[in-house]
């Protein structure tokens, strides 16, 4: 279990709080809006109504005691930037800050953020890749070049084993798991047979995924 400071309880912050609650982490939530704080109370360990740009307030929280500090402020970049800078100044171990523009991302990284999340850009990329392909059902980026893709088993692969297909050599892809009936099986081997109604999780470049599926569908 981690100790997490979550600052900003708009829609983005609330989604974070909900997931952290499911993961049973200890969360202290902070927002200047009383209604937001009251609504989040059932999901967090504690919640405070406060201005996160107030240095005296932040110092009172014992910032170094938190494993992660998340700045989820999305509607006031100046407050986000000041909060991020103060957190690092007061000894935050790791600061993750939300960005809503490219220039915001640069300033946050320069002023104390160890990592930024850019929900609008990340969702836009997911939508473009998902809707721009006839085969990709979902994907998770690993780098600018590589990602994990969920794709339906091509007709030419159905009924064959992973070893027989040899997709690593032929297509520069790695099969990581199989998804069927909303269940994922990662316990696979060269002898695992691919079913026609299943999907596979493959790691590689999008152009290699597209090429392999066009060639084998």
Q: Look at residues 17, 52, 57, 54 and name the one whose alpha carbon lies nearest to residue 38.
A: 17
Contacts of residue 74, defined as CB under 8 A and 6 or more positions apart, other chains included, come to 8, 10, 12, 80, 98, 100
User: Tell me: the pLDDT tens digits for 49-86?
Assistant: 999 999 999 999 999 999 999 999 988 999 999 999 99
This prediction has a pTM of 0.73
Q: Which CATH fold would you assign to the domain 133-214? A: Alpha-Beta Plaits (3.30.70)
In three-state secondary structure terms, 3 is: strand
3-121 and 133-214 in the same fold: no
Domain boundaries, given as residue ranges, for the chain: 3-121, 133-214
Strands 26-31 and 46-49, bridge-based pairing: parallel
Class of domain 3-121: alpha beta
User: Tell me: the pLDDT tens digits for 110-167?
Assistant: 999 999 988 877 778 778 877 777 778 888 888 878 889 898 998 889 999 999 999 9
Helix count and strand count (H, E) for the chain: 9, 11
pLDDT value of position 206: 83
In angstroms, rounded to a whole number, what is the distance separating the alpha carbons of residues 125 and 127? 5
């Amino acid at each position: 279990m981690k100790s997490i400071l979550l600052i900003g309880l708009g829609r983005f912050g609330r989604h974070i709080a909900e997931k952290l609650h499911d993961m049973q982490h200890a969360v202290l939530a902070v927002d200047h809006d009383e209604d937001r704080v009251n609504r989040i109370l059932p999901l967090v360990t504690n919640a405070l109504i406060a201005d996160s740009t107030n240095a005296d307030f932040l110092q009172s929280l014992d910032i170094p005691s938190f494993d992660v500090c998340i700045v989820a402020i999305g509607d006031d970049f100046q407050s986000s930037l000041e909060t991020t800078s103060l957190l690092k100044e007061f000894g935050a171990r790791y600061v993750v800050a939300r960005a809503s523009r490219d220039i915001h991302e640069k300033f946050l990284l320069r002023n104390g953020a160890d990592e930024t999340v850019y929900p609008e850009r990340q969702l836009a990329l997911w939508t473009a890749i998902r809707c721009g392909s006839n085969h990709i059902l979902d994907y998770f980026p690993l780098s600018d070049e590589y990602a994990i893709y969920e794709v339906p088993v091509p007709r030419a692969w159905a009924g064959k084993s992973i070893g027989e297909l040899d997709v690593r050599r032929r297509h520069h892809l790695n099969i990581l798991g199989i998804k069927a009936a909303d269940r994922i099986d990662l316990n696979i081997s060269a002898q695992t047979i691919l079913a026609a109604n299943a999907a596979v999780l493959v790691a590689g470049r999008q152009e290699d995924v597209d090429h392999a599926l066009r060639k084998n569908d």
